[in-house]
Amino acid sequence: MAAPSKATVVLKTVKKITVQFSPFQSNVRSTREFLAMVGSEKARATNANCQVISLVKHEDSEPVVDITYVDGERLVMKGAKLTGMEMLSAFQSRCTAKDPQAKSAAKK
Query: Domains (ranges, CATH) in the chain?
Result: 8-79 (3.40.30.10)
| CA–CA–CA angle 61, 57, 15 (5° rounding) | 95
Q: CB within 8 A of 8, min separation 6: which ones?
A: none
Q: CB within 8 A of 95, min separation 6: which ones?
A: 10, 11, 12, 13, 14, 69, 102
pLDDT at 3: 44
Instruction: Report DSSP letters for 48-102, one per residue.
Output: TT-EEEEEE-SSSPPPEEEEEETTS-EEEEEGGGS-HHHHHHHHHHHHHHH-HHH
Rounded CA-CA distance 75/17 in Å is 9
pLDDT at 40: 93
pLDDT at 58: 81
> What are the per-10-residue average pLDDT scores of the chain (108 residues)?
59 95 90 94 94 90 94 93 92 89 59
Cβ atoms of 8 and 40 within 8 Å: the answer is no
pLDDT at 16: 97
